[in-house]
Chains A and B, each alone.
Chain A
Amino acid sequence: MSSVLDVVLSSAFLAAVLRVATPYLLAAFGGLVAERAGIGNIALEGQMLGAACTGALVAGYSHSVALGAVCGVAVATLLGVLLAALRLELGADAIIAGIGINLLASGATAYAVYTLLDDKGGTSGLKSGTVPTVTLPGIEHVPVLGDVVSGQNLVTWLAFLAAPFVAWLFFRTRFGFHLRAVGETPDAAASVGIPVRRVQYAGLALSGALAGLAGVFLSMGYVSFFVRDMTAGRGFIALAAVFLGGLRPWGVFLAALGFGAAEALAVQLGTLDVPPQLVSTIPYAMTLVALAVYAWRRKRRGAAGEVATASL
């Protein structure tokens, strides 16, 4: 057991947690923004995948990491807008449309990679590079923190800045107020002249962009190439983090970080002769239990909490 503790307390492990948590954090915030705007974004998975593939391909052919990253995020943003358009213009069910977008991304990325590179697996044959790492000057001399933080990818920094950003956006800006109002009570928002659809489009675009950043990190940070279906269900886990975090920015932050930590732990424990598949079920089992506890508590509290509304 002491070896497990050694692993967990090492700065290398903490650095791994930040790295592994990055896509979860970004995608979860993407999911949060969409959920708060009133359109559940189940297409996070597809948006990440689209961004990961586009980023690697564009960067590989243009030899510009920046251009690749921008194009990746742009594709994911467009997929977010597509989801909003299907929901708002064509009356589609957001969940079904989301499944459709995931399917589209899965098929289109694989088709693109196969057509361009004649490779079924991914873009490992293409040199595409990674987003640069960032080290704050002097921080590497701070004990522990220096080891954990320095040399982290720029996107990882962005992921951790996303929490305060989203909190600020929600609770300090006009757009955030309108977004939350639109998601909670669209009629009320419309009755004071807030352009409900426009706000929802913007929310879903932002949601897609955040998921896109997560995807860019996967293929241009975590590793340096695109692999078919490389998101491997991260979009859905991020969605779970949104609910687990109670739809609040800092709650979602903690939930996503927890998923990252559990996954990093599973990787580490795999080296200690524990079946890695079983260890990697821990975050999901935790979510399941948390979901039940959360629902049970809300059910008990719900009765009291709704007094005001129900006395209408």
Chain B
Amino acid sequence: MTLIEAEDRRQYRATRRRDLAVDLGMALATVLAALTIGFLVMLATGNDPVRAYEVMLTGPLERSFRVGRWLEDATTLTLLGLSVAIPFRARQLSLGAESQLYAGALAAAAVAVFLPLPAVAAVIVPMVAAAMAGAGMGLVPGSMKARLGANEIVATLMLNAIAVRVYDYLVNGPLKEPGSSAVHSKPIQRDSALTPLSDWFGIPMGRANVGLGLMLLTAVALWLLITRTPLGYRIRMTGANPDFAAYGGIKVPRIIEWSFVIGGAVAGLAGAHLVQGVYGRLEPGLAGSLAFEGIVVALLARNNPLVVVVAGLCYSYLRAGGDIMEQQTDVGTEIVVVIQAVIVLLVTAQAPPDLLKRRIARKQVGVR
């Protein structure tokens, strides 16, 4: 094998194509391996895996409202994946999407429930408020890391714990709908709701709404930010080697803060989507486990915003399929979590793909 620098351009392109093929092949193999493990687990626990998979993999598309449920879930999940992909790009391990989402949800609800606004502003102002609240929530660990060097993993985990409890307190206390026996806030004003997709397509689509389009726009915008703007370049270089970035004149602490702020704003939007699009009010435990799964989605997509969309859609499809599987068979939806976990564990493995690439390369040299 020779050094890359001695290759000519044609060889180099061939190498790159080969590496890409290996990566794609490995991704496919990973999913297949995880599904196989799920198959074996179901078999071992006395279930019918063929039937379960059939339901799981075809179920979400069988009825339009199921498609709606899938898209609605994918919207939130993808926004959360995007929100961590940006700090991850600056190599900041922010696990704080949960706190940022709750901050965003609270801000969106505060405006959408209590502040009367004219038609278009009624939709936009709560979303802007949510993005700002999420950004503010992101700035806290961001500044602590950038200015003091405080570990961002611990800081974001602590903020999550605090935000979840404060949110719980507010929904159970000051913001609880007066006179209602259920624990939730008053509904948002009608004008603040994100238009349901059912209204557009004239078929029942559940709670899926135009937030889906918003999510796609956000993904494209973030992709442009990362690849086509000086700020994106600075984020990438800060992630690649902060000492190099500083040497080149980039203000690294400021870039770290920006990465947290942008991520926080996007997580805030996810909160707004849940309030204005999905539930129409504040519900307890709004986010569920979505925030952590957003991290998984970002990692699967290697923090590329456009790939995050694909990963988010696939991941949500599995989730939606799992729910339908549980309804129609005896298999618990948790098997989907197991499958997802196996995918995560296999995807983190860096060594096998590298080994495979090297082996292929060596074989080719042998032939040459």
Q: How far is the CA of A288 from the CA of B154 in the complex (A)?
A: 8
Q: Is the CB of B332 within 8 A of A114?
A: yes
**What 0/1 pattern do residues 330 to 356 of B give for CB contact below 8 A with A?**
001011111011101100111110100
Q: A86-B345, A104-B338 are in contact. Are A281 and B150 (CB under 8 A)?
A: no
Q: A281-B165, A292-B148 are in contact. Are A240 and B158 (CB under 8 A)?
A: yes
Residues of B within 8 A of A95 (CB): 93, 153
Residues of A within 8 A of B172 (CB): 277
Residues of B within 8 A of A107 (CB): 334-338, 340-341
Residues of B within 8 A of A115 (CB): 45-47, 332
What are the 9 tightest A-B residue pairs by CB atom distance, in nearest-first order? A107-B337, A104-B341, A90-B349, A92-B348, A100-B344, A295-B150, A111-B334, A91-B351, A277-B169
Residues of B within 8 A of A93 (CB): 348, 350
Q: Give residues 311-338 of B contacting A (CB, 8 Å).
A: 332, 334-338
Q: A95-B93, A299-B148 are in contact. Are A86 and B349 (CB under 8 A)?
A: yes
Residues of B within 8 A of A243 (CB): 151, 154
Q: A165 contacts the other chain (Cβ, under 8 Å)?
A: no
Q: A161 contacts the other chain (Cβ, under 8 Å)?
A: no
Q: B23 contacts the other chain (Cβ, under 8 Å)?
A: no
Residues of B in contact with A (beta carbons under 8 Å apart): 41, 45-47, 93, 144, 148-151, 153-155, 157-159, 161-162, 165-166, 168-169, 172-173, 289, 292, 295-296, 299, 332, 334-338, 340-342, 344-345, 348-352, 354
Q: How far is the CA of A115 from the CA of B326 in the complex (A)?
A: 11
Name the residue on B nearest A106 (C-beta). B337
| Nearest CB on A from B178, distance (A) | 18
Q: Is the CB of A104 within 8 A of B342?
A: yes
Residues of B within 8 A of A100 (CB): 296, 341, 344-345, 348
**What 0/1 pattern do residues 87 to 116 of A give for CB contact below 8 A with B?**
001111101110111111011101100110
Q: Is the CB of A281 within 8 A of B93?
A: no
Q: Is the CB of A291 within 8 A of B151?
A: yes
Q: How far is the CA of A281 from the CA of B338 in the complex (A)?
A: 31
Given contacts A91-B354, A103-B296, A240-B154, 12 further A-B contacts (CB under 8 A): A95-B153, A96-B299, A96-B344, A97-B344, A99-B344, A100-B296, A101-B345, A103-B292, A111-B332, A277-B168, A278-B165, A278-B169
Residues of A within 8 A of B162 (CB): 281, 284-285, 288
Residues of B within 8 A of A294 (CB): 150
Residues of B within 8 A of A120 (CB): 332
Q: How far is the CA of A20 from the CA of B315 in the complex (A)?
A: 37
Q: Is the CB of B144 within 8 A of A291?
A: yes
Residues of B within 8 A of A237 (CB): 161
Q: Pick the contact of B334 from A92, A101, A114, A280 — CB < 8 Å?
A: A114
Q: Is the CB of A110 within 8 A of B151?
A: no
Name the residue on A nearest B295 (C-beta). A99
Q: Pick the contact of A103 from B148, B151, B161, B340 — CB < 8 Å?
A: B340
Q: Give residues 280-301 of A contacting B (CB, 8 Å).
A: 280-281, 284-285, 287-288, 291-292, 294-296, 298-299
Q: How far is the CA of A93 from the CA of B215 in the complex (A)?
A: 29
Q: Is the CB of A92 within 8 A of B154?
A: no
| Nearest CB on B from A49, distance (A) | 12
Q: Is the CB of A281 within 8 A of B161?
A: yes
Interface-central residue, B47, B289, B335, B352, by most chain A CB under 10 Å: B335
Q: Is the CB of B155 within 8 A of A280?
A: no
Q: A90-B349, A101-B341, A107-B335 are in contact. Are A278 and B166 (CB under 8 A)?
A: yes
Q: Is the CB of A86 within 8 A of B335?
A: no
Q: How far is the CA of A108 from the CA of B340 in the complex (A)?
A: 11
Q: Is the CB of B334 within 8 A of A287?
A: no
Q: A111-B335, A115-B45 are in contact. Are A103 and B348 (CB under 8 A)?
A: no
A-B contact pairs, 18 of them (CB 8 A): A42-B153, A91-B350, A91-B351, A99-B296, A102-B292, A104-B341, A107-B341, A108-B337, A110-B334, A236-B157, A243-B151, A278-B169, A281-B161, A284-B165, A288-B158, A291-B154, A294-B150, A299-B148
